[in-house]
Every structure is written in C-alpha cells, then in structure tokens.
Amino acid sequence: MTTAVTSEDLTSSGTRLNAAYAVCRAIARREAKNFYYAFVALPEPRRNAICAIYAFMRQADDLADNESLPRDERRRRLDSWLADWRGVCHGGDSSDLVFIAVRDAVERYDIPLSLLDELVAGVTMDLDRSSIASCPIHSAPFAEWVGNHDALDQGTIGNQPPDTYATFDDLYRYCYLVASVVGLVCIRIFGYKDPRAEKLAEETGIAFQLTNILRDVAEDAARSRVYLPLEDLALHGVSLASLLSRTPAAPPTANECALLAAIAQRAEEFYRSAEELLPLIDRESRPALWVLVSIYHGLLKRIERADYDVFSIRASVPMPQKLAILAVGITRIGWARLFA
C-alpha cells in the first residue's frame, strides 16, 4: 500500500529544507571568513549547497578540535556524529538541519559520499595519532630526526608527542584530505565537464592549505602541532624543539625564513593549477572561484612581503582588499550572465 504525498507534505518538506539551508548560510557567514566572500559570488542554489558543505565540514572540525576533551572522547563523539550522518544518507531523519541540507546538496549535485568520508578522515588524523610508535606519519624518520637534533622539550609539549609530518608526501596526504577533498566537492557544485579539472582542483586545495599552514605556524606550534615537514626542517637547520619553544612574537631567524620560503615556493607552484582550473569551471561559477583564489593567493603574497614573519603578527588580507576582490567578482558575474 502506498501513501499519497499531499501538497502539505511537500510544503512542509520545502519549508524544512529552506530552514536547513538558512542554518548553513548562518554558519558560513559567521565562520567561513575567506570562503564566505567566494560564496557570495555564486548563484543562490550553488551558494546554498556550498554553505551546506562548509557547515558539515565545520561541525566535523569543531568536534575533532575541541581540546577541552580528551582525544578518545572527541573520537567517540565524532563517530556518533558520523553514524547519524550515515543514517540520514540512507533515508533516515535527523534533528540536525545541517545533515538535511547536505543530503539535498549531495543529491542535487551528484557529490560522491566517498568524498565526504575522506573529508571527515582528514579532520580525524590528529585524533588517531596518539603516539609515535602507532603512527606511520611519525614513524622512524621522526625518531631519527629528533635523535640527531635537539631533544624535545617535554615541558612544552606535555605527555603527548607533537603532531608532525616526516616528509612532504605525508603532508600532501593530510592537505589532500582537509583541503583538496573540499575542492573536489566544490567543483561538482561549480560545474565542469573536462576531467582535468579534478586534478587541478586537488592541487588548488594543496595551495590553499599550504598557505594556511604558513599563516598558522606560531599558533599551531603553541598547540604542539608542526605541519612543516621534518625533512624540510632538517634541510634548513631548524630544530623541532626551537619551533615548539620559541619566544612568542620573536622575529624569524634566517634559517626559519629560508624554511618558510621553501614552503611558500611549493604553494606558488600549486597556485598555477588554480589558474588552469578557472576556465574549466562553468562560466557562472568562475567568479566565485576567482574570488577565493585571489584572496588566498593574496594572503600568501602578504606573508612573502613580510619576509615570512608569521610570528610577530598573524597574516591576513585586510577587509577593504577582500571587498575590492568581491566587487570585481560580482562584476564578473554580471558579464558571465550577459554572455551566457
């Protein structure tokens, strides 16, 4: 026996979905900072979908990053949250309106659920690294590097070893999960036909995350996290202990400048992929991607112009510059629609 769907059912469902997207837009507006300027430059249906994905990502990241709780408890809560999401994916209901919006976006833009699984895997990497011995990312290169250089300051990092990445390949995997996957989801919402867009979106995500890593070196070190590859530290004569215990706001040493410059150069190379990606995206979505790339690349340029002093002050793109970039992006939307 089938149950007829009434107009009231459809109205109620539509109202709830509208409310769900409104919640996601509010989260994005409050939290997204650089991303939100790009969201504004999208047509409304795509903007709603992007905001839903951002809200989903924000929830996962907040659960994983809540340092007021032990790692095991954060992991338990994240697993419970993920189980609820998977229930929604299989047709279940949820009081979490973010899940309702994300499910609609996934169906509307044919986003593979595997990409969202990878996104969650990225934010859980730190939770799953409870000891050097159990973590392939720390593994032998970490122990050897620490053994050949300054001993770790246990008073600074406490009982847990710092979160580190032995090689750039290790760091690339982390950047892929937390940033490139977001890019691969976004291009499905933006629209594209050329399969080359997928690799270019992956590499654009790497550029963005390397920029974030450079900006946050001091803040991350204060939380016993060093995302600069240990092999690069060794190459430039910078000890892990010196990063973890450096004097707050002290300017970078010559060796630290050289280290950060090398990471910035890698980021610059990946930004070339962003330039190649732009023309492969649907015309009406290109202004949004252009805004995002311009803001992030502008942030990297500010770090470079500051001679890599990310310790004295946290680098950021000033609001007037962001608004100017957005204004150009909105103008581009008009041209895109005019010639569509």
pLDDT at 12 exceeding the cut of 60: no
Can you give the pLDDT at residue 302?
97
Q: pLDDT confidence of 140, banded at 50, 70, 90?
A: very low
pTM: 0.83
> Is the pLDDT higher at 128 or at 67?
67
pLDDT at 189 exceeding the cut of 90: yes
Share of the chain above pLDDT 70, in %: 84
Share of the chain above pLDDT 90, in %: 64
pLDDT at 149 exceeding the cut of 70: no
- Count CB atoms within 10 A of the CB of residue 270: 21
Q: pLDDT confidence of 13, banded at 50, 70, 90?
A: low
Closest CA to 303 of 214, 238, 222, 227: 214
CA angle 41, 45, 49 (to 5 degrees): 90
pLDDT at 170 exceeding the cut of 50: yes
> In this structure, which amino acid lies at residue 144?
E
pLDDT tens digit sequence for 301-327: 999 999 999 999 899 998 898 888 888
Closest CA to 142 of 172, 170, 121, 123: 170
Distance of CA 124 to the CA centre of its chain: 13
> Is the pLDDT higher at 69 or at 136?
69
pLDDT at 257 exceeding the cut of 80: yes
Please state the φ and ψ torsions of residue 46, each to the nearest 5 degrees.
-70, -35
Mean pLDDT of 128-153: 38
Mean pLDDT of 265-269: 98
Q: pLDDT confidence of 14, banded at 50, 70, 90?
A: confident
The mean predicted confidence, pLDDT, of the chain is 85
Can you give the pLDDT at residue 337?
55
Task: Tell me if 310 sits within 8 A of 60, measured CB to CB.
Answer: no
pLDDT at 156 exceeding the cut of 90: no
Can you give the pLDDT at residue 37?
79
Mean pLDDT of 199-216: 98
pLDDT at 142 exceeding the cut of 70: no
For the chain, the maximum distance between any two Cα atoms, rounded to a whole number of angstroms, is 76
Cα distances (Å, whole numbers) of residue 297 to 53, 102, 303, 317, 318: 22, 28, 10, 10, 13
Q: Specify the 3-state DSSP secondary structure of 240.
A: helix
Can you give the pLDDT at residue 151?
34
Closest CA to 128 of 116, 137, 115, 139: 137
Find the DSSP H helices in the chain.
Answer: 7-31, 34-40, 44-65, 71-89, 97-108, 113-123, 139-148, 154-157, 168-175, 181-190, 196-215, 217-222, 230-235, 240-244, 254-277, 286-305, 319-338
Cα distances (Å, whole numbers) of residue 128 to 4, 70, 136, 137: 47, 12, 11, 11
Based on C-alpha coordinates, what's the Rg of the chain? 21
Mean pLDDT of 194-209: 98
Task: Tell me if 163 sits within 8 A of 240, measured CB to CB.
Answer: no
Q: pLDDT confidence of 125, banded at 50, 70, 90?
A: confident
Q: Which residues, at least 6 apart from 108, have a Cβ–Cβ distance to it below 8 Å?
A: 45, 49
Closest CA to 82 of 47, 113, 126, 49: 113
> In this structure, which amino acid lies at residue 257?
C
pLDDT tens digit sequence for 58-69: 999 999 888 899
Q: What is the DSSP string of 265-323?
A: HHHHHHHHHHHHHGGGB-GGGHHHHHHHHHHHHHHHHHHHHTTT--SSS-----HHHHH
| First-residue to last-residue Cα distance in the chain | 47
Can you give the pLDDT at residue 277?
98
Strand partners, 225: 163
Mean pLDDT of 275-287: 95
Can you give the pLDDT at residue 100?
96
Buried b (16+ CB within 10 A) or exposed e, 34-55: bbbbbbbbbeeebbbbbbbbbb
